[in-house]
Structure formats: structure tokens, C-alpha cells
Structure 1
Amino acid sequence: MNRKHDNLISSESFEAVFSRYILQQHKKHTCFAREDYVRMMGEYWDEKQEIDFIQKILDDSNGQLKMYGSAQEIYQNLVLYRTFSQSHWFFKDHVFDGYYIEPDVNLSLKNEYVIHKTNIFVMLQTIIARDFPKWESTILRFILSTFLKSEEILAAHVEFVKFNETDFLNMRAEINRLLAVDHRKEEFKKLEEKMSKISYSEYRKMFESLPGIEWKQAHLVRLDIIVKSLYDQKPKNAETMSFLYHTTKATIDCFKMFMNSKPEWFLPNSENKNPLYAVRLFQDGNRRFVMKAEFFRVLNSLPSTKEPIVYKDKPDRLDTMMYEDLVLNYRARIPEIEVGLTDDWKFL
């Protein structure tokens, strides 16, 4: 379960997940509940760092949290607990915190691969994280995460598109081509020369003016902190400053080009000419089931549905329907819907 640097979790996201994971009556025993707690901001943790911090929480609780297990066990449970599509919406993560899940792809019962639209954004982040070590740079992670989540407009939807790995491999190749910076090129030399003389406010404005991001005040405050720490490095490294700006801008440009070429992948089904209607099929041993609310939402969105079925989960409860019951009661409608099981496909 060793995580690579492409799905690190931010300190803020960890706090949100951990606070939802433990029972309400136990929250008072965590460091987060203390008045003198200084919230860590802008840190990204790998597996070891996360386990170390969990151990600090356990030590600080004076044994009040020992029923949750060891730091290693809690870490493993937290990874399982938070690893699902749209988890960042559920935990109300900041828009500038990166995705910390793997991009899952589902295999439908028709033997076709489909992908949750939210996971397309995770896939885009994964491409950068796997191919560019500078992803570990706070400024690159911060701005690209903000851009991707600003573009993600399907928070209330569980929608899929058919997945073609070739599309992503082609985009990955194009990103690599665009980001292959030749420091000897005249254009980059000019940018580097500009960076060596630029003022802090001008440098910050370059990042703030990147297209495709709607900055909110809280984001600008964080941007100011990150850019200033980069600008104030001694000695000033114009090459690094140039590289990070070039990489960030080129990546956003490439993402936007890809999104414009595949609008059906990013827009809600209601705005697509040929939408894919799909529902997730979960499996627990020999039991297979769907989420009732999700199934009826998809069923009601079908053009052939004349009388929508009103269904809503009760608070803090998700009702399910066994697949056998779905087939028995909705056999005639199933051909119109892709039913997808989680598959072990991985994006390399």
C-alpha cells in the first residue's frame, strides 16, 4: 500500500478525513480539538509522514484512541475509507488540494471499459505526477489542483464515459512534448533573463493571470505565501522560477486543449448529444448490488422514462438493491444502462 508522490494527501485533507473517520465522542481527544493547536497548512504527506503524524495523535490522546488500532492500522483503514470517486467533495477538501486517490476504471458487464468523469481529472493529475518530478513543487501542485477542480462541474453527478486508453496515452505524449524544455532555446533564455530581474509582484501576477482559474480570496492568500517562498529563495534561481512557470502554463494549456477536444467527457449528460447512462455495480463476496438512489437517478434520466421514480436516501444511510432484484424488476430497462464493476486496471 506504499503510495507514490502522485497521490500524497495534504495536511488539511488529512484532518478532514480523520475527523470524519473517528466517532464524534472521541474527537475531543485529538490535537485538532485543542485551543492551542496550530493548523498545518500546505504540507503534503507520503505514507511514512502520515503514519508518523497518526502516531503523534495517538500519543497525544493518552490512550483514549487506542481502540482504533496502531498508527499503521489506522493509516491502512484511512486509505480504504477515503479512496472512492468524488471523495474530495464528500470530505469538503480545499479546491487547491490535489486528488489523493488512484484513477479507477470500470469494466462493464458488456465487457467495455468506462470511467467516472471525476476520475478523468484524477487521470490528468496522475500523468503529471508520474512523468514530472517537479510535481513535488508546491506551486505546481497548488495551481494545477486549483485548475482541475475549478473545471470539475459534476459534483452532484455520478456519470461515466467509455474509456479509450489510447486517448490518454496520446495526451500524455503531447504533454511530454510540450513540457520538454530545452534550456538552450532562445525563448526559454529570454524567460530566464526576465525572471532574474522581475519583481515579486510581477512574478506573482504571472501565476495569478494563468488562464482557466477563477481565483477566490482564500486561494490568493495561499498563492501569495507559496510564490513568495519561491521568489525569496537565496540565491535567486531564475532557471527554477522559469521552469516552474513554463511547466505550469504549458500543462494548463494542454489540459484545456484536451478538454475542448473531448467536451462529452467533461460536461454533464444533459449537455451531451450521445450520453452514456451507467451505474456502478459493487461486489462483496458473492453478493452484487447497486446504490438505489444512483440507479433511480440514472433510470429517471433515460429519454425513454415517462414516469420518473422518486427516491431519496434517508440521512446518514445509503440503501442498496441486489443485482438479482434489479434484473427481476427492471429487466426491460437494463439494455439501456451500462452496469460497471470496479476493475483492477491501472494507469501506468
Structure 2
Amino acid sequence: MSKYLEIPEKAMTPMCLHKETTFYVLEEHLHSLLSFEDYPNGSSKGQEEKLIQKLMDTKRKNFRMYGSAAEFAENLKIYRKFPESHLYFNTDVDTYQVDPIIYQSLKNEKYLCKSDLFPILQNMLMGLDEQFTIEIVSIISYFLKIQEERVNGKVEFVRVEETLLEDISKELGEEMAKHDVTAQSFQLAPLLAILDFNQCFQIIQRLCPEIWNDRKHHRVHELITSSCNELPPEMRPVVFSIIAKLVFKSLQSLENVIGKHPELFLPYSETEYNAMPVTVRMFEDGDQRFVMNAELSDALSRRLDWEDDTNTRFTLNMEEVLRKYGNEKIEFIRFPIRRAKHRAVPIKAGGPNDFFILAVDAFFELMTDLILGAQIFQNNDIGRFSLIFHELEKFFKPDCMEPYFIRTKVSELMKRLMQTVTVNDDEKSPVKCIRNAKPDGFSLQNLKNELKHLGLTETFPEIEEHAEIVYEHVDSVKKEEFLRTCDLFDAIEQCQLICVLNRYENLKKFLHNQKGCGRIPGLKCQECDKEAAERVPTNNN
């Protein structure tokens, strides 16, 4: 089974890796971000660290907060891996790039998200013929993504029996062999020899006209051009002939296999297949387990009492779910909340392009954007943000006791809202940048000096009071022998976070109710202290 879950090397592209990087880094770090032009057609598999190092060597100032190239590549590997990631990263012109994930249910059954079956079909095809090149696989992936759109509106799962993927692969191989005879009847080379490049390309496009747009046309045109440029002119018709034959029989084979298994490749609502249990994701975050109210409502086919809006998905804790609906025929799929260091992994919910993260993660991402990206607190008037912080309570709800999700696009709106306060500030002097740590690390005094250098002691007069405990924390979790510049970024961010939260009690209350207090060392939370005191048994002697 595992061989179908790994994207083949030739399908992995530097272009896609670059695009995903632009989503991970702060907006302010994107300016003139170097492309990977030196690797237009090569594989990025196994080259991730090398490619990230290339970015760091060129734009080192903008990448200092992310640590080493190896650390960045590892975090990006975590961040990029989720179903339908190509929709989120806008990488539809690439092949499928992300390994599908096997999930476990509460009954220890194995499940796949339906959308992950389409990259599996791509992987299966590539294992059947060595002639599959990146341009051929790109066309096939465009076709598969069109098929996938039929299930994009639903997050549905299929149970994976031990032989399921092997059986599908066998069927696909049989279909390819069946259509190989038809494909061989394509006597294209003589015809292609008298056509120019664009006319040859049009023949390829006619094999599946519905998949193309301008971006996909440009991408495949560029790939075939690059391949043809490496060959003598008389070989061009042979290249186009091979592409046409493989694309033709691949698309015919895929259509037949998908058509035979509507229960796998279509929403259940469009099939008459009733053998699969109704599934609901059970999100796991530390010791918290919860489900989305909307997904539970769909599974039960009745409206529950919840207050979702366009940008919010509320949840119900699993204990209450089992107490109220434990007798229903629902299979709960264990779905862990995953985080890289600087970003939470997006979660598909709702419509085709709807992705969410937990509200507590949205809060931390927003604060990182404001503190280290926009650097809006490096002035001496924190009071100017009071009204805007109160506006943020519409998104960061202080009275919500259960975890809830926020649409990823909302973070951008909140950041723009905060920046409206400073956009016309002509008197504000340019902000200073965090300086590099010395090769042998930085001390507590160095941290305090940096807070003064950045003007943060004027904005937050008490900020140095938090430096010691923050310093002890970053020193205890450092990845290398000495504290590095990335650790200095972390310390400065955490010091500012404590100061902001101590000024806005409702935000601190939100953070407590969303179990986020422990993510800020040095933050004193009265609610946490009160709960801890209540857990201590009283002495009756």
C-alpha cells in the first residue's frame, strides 16, 4: 500500500516548493524572493534543503528568523502536507506533490480522504511506464484535478481494505494494456513531422480540451519546449507522438477506472453505495478531542444548535458527542491538528477553496505577522491600537469555551485592520531591524539591549521585566550549542506578546479558554492559577 502513497521523484518540482515557501514566510519577506530558475525541470525531491539554502544565501536578512535551511525545509514539509493542498497553495499547474495520508478511526480502521485518491491514481500510473515524463504527468494531473472537483465540496473518507489499492492498480494496468493497442494505431509521427510546434501542441490539447487554461497551457508548452530543445529537430515528432499516445491511453484508462468505482471517486450523495459508514473527523490537539458542529450535523442529517458564520466553524467536545450521539452509526476519523513552527497546517472545510485553522493558531500567526513582519509595536504609542484590538474580539471570542476554527483568509483581513492605524503615520521614524546574534550566542543582557535598540522599552516600559524568563525558555529549547539569531527573534516576539496580552484582558481570556496560555512562557494567567489551586486537595487536619 505504501508505494502508492509516495509521490514519485519525477513529479516533484522546484516551482511548487517555491510557491509553498511564499505561503510559509511572512509577507514582508516576500519582496524580490528569488525563483528557482536554475532548476526549471529538475526534481525537488531530496533537494529541498539545497533549494531553501539558495533562497537564504540570496535573501539572508529576510530568512534569519527561520533558523537553518534544514529547519526551514523540515517545517515546510510539515506545513505543506494536507489534502487538497494544491487548492490552498494555488499550485494547480503542477502535478500532485503531496503524499496522501492514511487516517485511523476510533475503531482502528484505516481511512483515506477521497480527494487523496486522485494523487494515488497519478502515482499508480507513473509506476506502470518509465516513459512518463513531467509534461505527460502534468497533463494527467490536470485531468485528475478536474475529476477531483466533483468531491471538493465534501470532506469524505473511504475505508482502505488491505487489497483496495492493489486491486485499483491492477485494474488500471489492465486498462492501460487494453488501450495500448488503440494507442499504437496513432500514426502521428509522419503527420507531426510536417507541422510546426504550436500545431503539434494543439493536437495534444485536443485529447482533453476541458482541462486547459492559460496558466496550464503555458506550463506544459514550456516543459515540452525544454524537452525538445535538448534533442535534434528530427526527433521532435517522436516526442509529440510519445506524449500523445501515453496521454490518450492514460486518460481513457482513468475514465474507465473512475467510472467503475463511483463510491470511491464521487460524493456519496451521487451514488447508491451504502456500505460505507458515515464518517466525521475527530480533531485531536493534545488532550483535546472535538468535532466540527457542521460536520456532525451533516452526518446526522439534522440541524444542530450552532452559530457558524462564513468565517467560523464551532466545535463540540468529544465527551459530549459520545454522550449525546454515541448510539448513532458514525465512524469518527482521528484527525490530528498539525503545526509547523511558524504556521498551523490548514484544514479543508466547507466549499472547494475553504480552509481553516484553529482560532488560537490564527491568533499566534497574526501576532507574529504584526510583531516580526509589520513591526507595528516599535513605536511609543501602544494606545493607538486599543479600538482595533477590541475589534479583534469579533474573531477572537473571549467567552467561547470550546476550540473553534477561523478561515485562513481572515488573518489577512485582521492584519490589514491593524495596519490602518499606522498607514498614514508620516511622523513615525523607520523601524529598526533585529540585529544578528554573535557566533557564541547572546546573553540576557544582549536581549535587553536589543529590546532597547528596537525602541520597545518606550512602547512597553515593563518589557525588560519579562526578558529573564523568556531568555531561560529559549535557552532551554535551543536547537544548537549556542543561541542563534532565530532564537533572538523568538525571544523578542514572546516579550512583546506578554506585554500586549497584559494590556488586553479579553484577549488573554480568549487565549486561556482556547488552551493557548502555555505557548507563551512567562505569561501569568490568573485563570490558570485559579484552576491549579482548585485542583490542589485541601488539608482537613
Q: Is the 8 A contact 1:51 1:75 kept in 2?
A: yes
Question: Is the CA contact 1:8–1:100 (under 8 Å) kept in the aligned structure 2?
Answer: yes
State the number of aligned residues: 325
Residue segments in structure 1 that go unaligned for 5+ positions in a row: 344-348
Distance in 1 between residues matched to 2:105 and 2:69, nearest whole Å: 37
Residue of 332, 335, 339 corresponding to 2:332: 339
> Is the counterpart of residue 194 in structure 1 residue 190 in structure 2?
yes
Letter in 2 for 1:298: E
Contact residue 300 and residue 309 of structure 1 kept, 8 A: no
Q: 1:243 to 1:174 in 2, by over 3 A?
A: farther
d(CA) in 2 for partners of 1:254, 1:186: 12
2:321 corresponds, among 311, 319, 326, to 326
CA RMSD after TM alignment: 3.5
Does residue 1:31 correspond to 2:33, yes or no?
yes
- What is the CA deviation profile of residues 115-145 of structure 1, one whole-angstrom value per residue up to 9, with x for unaligned ones? 211011011111123343333x221121011
How far residue 155 of structure 1 moved from its aligned partner, in angstroms, is 2.6
Distance 1:48 1:113 in 2: 28
1:149 pairs, out of 145, 148, 159, with 145
- TM-score, normalized by length of structure 2? 0.52
Structure-to-structure mapping, 1:253-332, within 5 angstroms: 253-273=252-272, 274=274, 276-283=277-284, 287=287, 289-292=289-292, 296-302=293-299, 304-305=301-302, 307-312=303-308, 321-332=316-327
Tell which has more relative contact order, 1 or 2 (C-alpha 8 A, sep 6+).
1
Matched residues in 2 for 1:329 and 1:109: separation? 17
The aligned counterpart of 1:21 is: 24
Quote how far apart the aligned CAs of 1:248 are. Answer: 1.8
Report the counterpart of residue 226 of structure 1 in structure 2.
Answer: 223
Point out where structure 2 has 5 or more consecutive residues left out of the alignment.
1-5, 337-541
Per-residue deviation, residues 47-105 of structure 1 (Å, max 9, x unmatched): 34332221121112234422211111111110111111121122222x23112221222
CA contact (8 A) 2:279 2:299 kept: no
CA distance in 2, matches of 1:81, 1:215: 29
Superposition map of 1:90-239 within 5 A: 90-93=88-91, 95-135=92-132, 137-153=133-149, 154-179=151-176, 188=184, 191=187, 193-194=189-190, 197-199=193-195, 200-211=197-208, 213-231=210-228, 233-237=231-235, 238-239=237-238
Counterpart CA distance in 2 for 1:282 and 1:216 is 37
SS of 2:208's equivalent in the other structure is: coil
**Structure 1: distance between partners of 2:315 and 2:10:** 30
Does the Cα contact within 8 Å between 2:9 and 2:45 map onto a contact in 1?
Answer: no
Kindly state the Cα deviation for residue 257 of structure 1 after the two structures are TM-superposed: 0.5
Q: Distance in 1 between matches of 2:330 and 2:204?
A: 43
In 2: Cα distance, 1:177 partner to 1:246 partner: 16
Q: 1:299 to 1:176 in 2, by over 3 A?
A: same
For residue 281 of structure 1, give the secondary structure of its aligned residue in structure 2.
strand
Give the greater-gyration-radius structure (CA). Answer: 2
**Partner residue, 2:368:** none
- 1:255-308 deviation digits (Å, cap 9, x = unpaired): 1101111123222233233374212234456x352452xxx2332224642x34
Question: How big is each residue's C-alpha offset from its partner over 1:21-58, in whole Å with a ceiling of 9 and x where there is no partner?
Answer: 12234334x625xxxx7978964532343322211211
Percent of aligned pairs with the same residue? 24
